[in-house]
Chains A and B, each alone.
Chain A
Amino acid sequence: MSAHRPRRRLAGRIARHVLLVASAAFALLPFVWMVSLSLKPPDEIFQPDFHLWPQSFHGVENYRVALTAAPMLRFLLNGAFVCAVIFALQLVICVPCAYALAKLRFRGRDTLFSAVLVGLLVPPQALAIPHFVLLYVFGLLDTYAALILPWIISAFGIFLLRQFFRSIPDEIIHAARLDGLGEFEIIWRIMMPMSAPALAAFGIFSVVAHWNDLFWPLIAVRSEEISTPALGILLFRDDEAGQFLGALMAGATIIVAPLLLAFLFAQRRFIDGLATTAMK
């Protein structure tokens, strides 16, 4: 028994790697395929035999077309700008509200918190029609404002931050008050720094959601100049240059790269952030 136990353990270890390499291949395949095609000339993509690495390297040309035929970098900047403004406004609006719900006593507080919980139930897609009408009435369709405004209030953000603020001891707030700090100073100078992990988690959740969102930009925006990445790649596909698969795959690579790179540089943060926001 003791003789074959180590051998069995070794077999188990090898089996673990074999199975995980298989599932990792499933996860990675589309990325490998995307990059492979993005380096190939059109005739090589259509020829019957397949090579992972291009026989004649066409990568420079494909990426040049992707970057010039459509404003690919503009899409990325738009995405970064829209996500940053949405998150900044969410913080300005949600943090004071979450603090008041967690730490201050006032009439109507519990009713308001119940309203926030009800708000959590409403899927954002269900509000698309009235949001569209509202933006139409104010003449804001097809602007950055159209991409940003519907998202600046987040019932989820209020809920998440309120839960975190409640875990901060009251004594800290009392001490701050005795030091002569006003409530809003307490919010920005004490609660905010102390809740950095919760804010980071909410930030990652918010940025990933809005960077990847297609539903709303498809409704709110028509012009290429203000398209976000998720919409931009579709505009490029419908464009003449997007008919060339190599260039289209180059465009897709450019679109997905920033978030994937950010993730690879801060894996723990992203995984923890998305897992904790999901668990709430």
Chain B
Amino acid sequence: MSVMALAHRRARPAARRRQHQAAEATVGWLAVSPALILLICLLFGPAAAVILFSFTDWQLGASTFRFVGTENFAALWADPPFWKALINTCIYVAIVVPGTVGLGLATALLIEASPSLRGFYRAVHFLPVMSTMSAMAVVWGTMLHPSIGLVNRTLAVFGMTGINWLRDEHTALLAVALIGIWQGFGFAMVLFVSGLKAVPQQLYDAAAVDGADGLFDRLRIVTLPMLGPVTMFVIVLTASRAFEVFDSVRVLTQGGPNYASEVLLNRLYSESFDYLRTGYGAALTVVYLAIVIALTIAQARFIERRVHYS
């Protein structure tokens, strides 16, 4: 057989493979193209647009606008309600995260401690997670009502006079945070339960051999250390959800009284869609976006390292 023919025969499967690869690439691009177009039109394009808007003085509905450089950001920096919203959001997160994680962990440990009524408790604790927040916020509004609300009626039984929780500068944010904990702790519980199920029984047996068979010994030596990564994850998840608090604030306080319960997303909504200050709202959005992305990346790094070294 001539060398030429040999080369020719070798080339044919290669050519077929190349042809096949080209076909696969065509199908691939065909399959991703709707998603790609929509990613550009509905995600990356708009994200770029927000950044662009933030450098203009555009107001929704206005036909003209001009570029104002960093004026919007300077205005934001000098705007007390913005700082109030940022600080309040951080306080809200600082209350909701320990409350949700602590209550979620406690209920998970209790539920998993024995099979009796396990399914019932799990379902009941999960109900708030599934409920529509805007409707339940309306309900919480009546529970916190100064005269007919459940909270103040209960206090009255013990001879105490309650206050107007949602209209009081000192308690409005606290009340909203309580609602946040109420809605989220069932979800934390479910995540902890799945973490508990992954703890190998041998560890408890080994601990028992070493004399650690009391409830609190088992908890301290085996359960809690083994839940480390799950706990980290629940904290991160709860924090990022708490950072996006909006519904309860919008429904119950609109950020009041006197910005006492103002949070970032409500500020963003008010500026952009109540006052139609698009350029300013866009600047606020850019700041919000930057914070969320920075937190997400920091969390991802942190979790990676923790899991790696543990």
Interface residues of A (CB under 8 A from B): 12-13, 16-17, 19-20, 23-24, 26-31, 33-34, 37, 45-46, 50, 92-94, 96-97, 99-101, 104-109, 112, 115-116, 119, 121-123, 125-134, 136, 149-150, 152-153, 155, 158, 183-184, 187, 208, 211-212, 214-215, 218-219, 229-231, 233-234, 237, 245, 248-249, 251-252, 255-256, 259-260, 263-264, 267, 270-271, 274-275, 278-279
Contacts and interface: CB of A to CB of B under 8 A. Distances in A.
A116 B39 contact: yes
The A interface is mostly helix, strand or loop, or mixed, namely: helix
Given A97-B32, A125-B265, A153-B43, A34 B139 contact: yes
A155 to B, nearest CB: 7
A45 B150 CA distance: 11
B70 interface: no
Interface residues of B, number: 89
Given A105-B25, A234-B138, 18 more contacts: A23-B125, A33-B139, A92-B34, A105-B28, A121-B297, A122-B43, A126-B288, A128-B285, A132-B60, A133-B49, A133-B278, A136-B60, A218-B273, A237-B138, A256-B135, A259-B131, A263-B123, A274-B187
A255 B135 contact: yes
A132 B273 contact: yes
Interface string B259-295: 0000001001100110000100110010011001100
Nearest to A255: B135
Given A20-B107, A20-B111, A115 B123 contact: no
B67 interface: no
A194 to B, nearest CB: 17
Contacts of A184: 27, 31
12 contacts: A27-B128, A105-B21, A121-B297, A153-B38, A153-B39, A155-B39, A183-B31, A187-B31, A233-B134, A234-B251, A237-B138, A271-B126
B32 A233 contact: no
Interface stretch (B8-16, B85-93, B113-121): B113-121
A6 to B, nearest CB: 14
A252 B111 CA distance: 30
B127 A229 contact: no
Given A96-B35, A129-B282, A278-B237, A134 B46 contact: yes
A17 B111 CA distance: 9
Closest 3 CB pairs between A and B? Answer: A130-B46, A106-B28, A97-B35
* Best-buried of A13, A214, A255 by chain B (most CB within 10 Å): A214
Contacts of B153: 50
B247 A150 contact: no
B107 A23 contact: yes
A134 B49 CA distance: 11
B142 A249 contact: yes
A97 B121 contact: no
A106 B127 contact: no
B71 interface: no
Contact of A271 (B44, B122, B128, B272): B122
A106 B25 contact: yes
A248 B136 CA distance: 11
A101 B130 contact: no
Contact of B31 (A99, A127, A260): A99
A158 B36 CA distance: 11
A108 to B, nearest CB: 8
A119 B44 contact: yes
Contacts of A267: 119, 122-123, 126
A26 B106 CA distance: 14
A106 B24 contact: yes
B116 to A, nearest CB: 7
B246 interface: yes
A164 to B, nearest CB: 16
A249 B139 contact: yes
* Best-buried of B116, B127, B185, B281 by chain A (most CB within 10 Å): B127
Given A131-B46, A275-B194, A123 B292 contact: yes
Contacts of B123: 263-264, 267
A152 B134 contact: no
B302 interface: no
B132 interface: yes
